């Protein structure tokens, strides 16, 4: 059966121990690994490793011994309790061996948990798990964690429920951090609040959040797109002091203007175009970006992208001009273009 992202969040927190198998796949190995860790911990509880109720197999193990998965699923341990056989990096090349073990599964056998890279809809492994009446297949995408997932993290960390202001801060933070960094930040907040009975506040979260240059980089690019020329120099000086490279800034600006161009070219309007972008734009930036796309227009955005691509080529060439100054000059030219758009 195929689990939707919404249903998957609940299932990872409370998995069914009587299911024969679970396939987790996705492009981001860190996101897939975090989900796998969560579901195995929920299935087995503490001390599973010490009690040998978790068996780990690799794709190489299964290629070397075609019966390795079936043998591990059928094996009986010395300790009572549920068991899991975890196979990492599953591929369609191993589908016959994996699906054979799944077909032989009986109640009381170890549950099969597989992780894989992104699998296309035609993948034999994905199709088999999605069509199976008892097993599950879950695709993990690059969207930031939503409210239910964050609430689950808070509960696991012993932080309880967050009020509206604190949850809003956490949602913003989840879009700025990688999933592993975000989970570590939640754990850090739990330690910070260990002896503090007061409710979780935005100030608590910000005190534990990693200092990231991404927010200032976003502010710089928005300033460029909105013709706020006077803000460009100070923001670039701060980012340079924090170690941001010119190439990184140019790439970020190019990505932003590509998104604006795609939105401006949408036949249903810029607002609809922003909502259709993948990966999705954070909800707090959607209206702002829609206004930028509408104000610039598709053809002027094409000119802006041409300027950014030329800048990127110069940064990667053997020219001797100071690279940060080159990027700053291009950003100022874009801001001037924005100021003349009307």
Task: Write out pLDDT tens, residues 257-267.
Answer: 999 999 999 88
pLDDT at 125 over 90: yes
Tokens of 155: 């509960």
What pLDDT score was predicted for residue 113? Answer: 96
Helix (H, G, I), strand (E, B) or coil at 298: helix
Quote the pLDDT of residue 203. Answer: 81
pLDDT at 133: 92
Of the candidates 22, 79, 12, 19, the residue with the CA atom closest to the CA atom of residue 42: 12
The per-residue pLDDT for 342 is: 47
Distance, CA of 292 to CA of 255 (rounded, Å): 14
**DSSP annotation string for 86-107:** EEES--GGGHHHHHHHHHH--T
pLDDT class for 214, splitting at 50, 70, 90?
Answer: low
For residue 191, pLDDT beyond 80 = yes
Over residues 139-168, mean pLDDT: 83
What is the model's pLDDT at position 81? 86
Check pLDDT > 80 for residue 241: no
Domains of the chain: residue spans and CATH: 2-140 (3.40.50.300), 147-208 (no CATH), 214-339 (1.20.272.10)
pLDDT at residue 286, rounded to an integer = 85
Tell me the whole-structure pTM to 2 decimals: 0.53
Of the two residues 176 and 59, the one the predictor is more confident about is 59
294/270 Cα distance (integer angstroms): 6
H-helix or E-strand spanning residue 139: strand 136-140
Does the structure show a pLDDT above 90 at 328? yes
């Amino acid at each position: 059966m195929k689990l939707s992202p919404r249903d998957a969040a609940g299932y990872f927190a409370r998995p069914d121990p009587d299911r024969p198998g679970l396939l987790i796949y996705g492009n981001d190995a860190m996101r897939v690994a975090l989900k796998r860790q969560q579901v195995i911990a929920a299935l087995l509880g503490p001390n599973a490793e010490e009690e040998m109720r978790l068996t780990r197999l690799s794709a190489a193990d299964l290629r070397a011994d075609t019966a390795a998965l079936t043998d591990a699923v059928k094996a009986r341990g010395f300790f009572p309790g549920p068991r899991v056989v975890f196979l990492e990096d599953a591929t369609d090349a191993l589908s016959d061996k994996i699906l054979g073990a799944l077909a032989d599964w009986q109640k009381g056998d170890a549950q099969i948990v597989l992780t894989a890279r992104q699998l296309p809809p035609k993948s034999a492994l994905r199709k088999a798990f999605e069509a199976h009446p008892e097993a599950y297949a879950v695709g993990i995408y690059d969207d930031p964690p939503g409210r239910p997932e964050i609430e689950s993290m808070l509960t696991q960390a012993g932080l309880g429920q967050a009020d509206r202001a604190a949850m809003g801060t956490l949602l913003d933070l989840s879009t700025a951090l990688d999933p592993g960094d975000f989970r570590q930040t939640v754990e850090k907040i739990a330690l910070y609040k260990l002896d503090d009975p007061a409710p979780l506040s935005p100030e608590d979260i910000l005190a534990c959040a990693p200092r990231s240059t991404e927010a200032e980089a976003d502010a710089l690019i928005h300033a460029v797109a909105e013709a706020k020329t006077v803000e460009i120099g100070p923001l670039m000086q701060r980012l340079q002091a924090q170690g941001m490279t010119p190439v990184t800034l140019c790439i970020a600006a190019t990505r932003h203007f590509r998104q604006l161009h795609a939105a401006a070219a949408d036949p249903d309007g810029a607002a609809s175009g922003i909502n259709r972008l993948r990966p999705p734009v954070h909800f707090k930036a959607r209206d702002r970006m829609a206004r930028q796309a509408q104000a610039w227009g598709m053809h002027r955005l094409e000119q802006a992208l041409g300027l950014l691509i030329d800048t990127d080529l110069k940064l990667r060439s053997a020219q001797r001009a100071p690279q940060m100054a080159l990027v700053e000059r291009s950003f100022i030219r874009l801001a001037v273009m924005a100021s003349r758009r009307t």
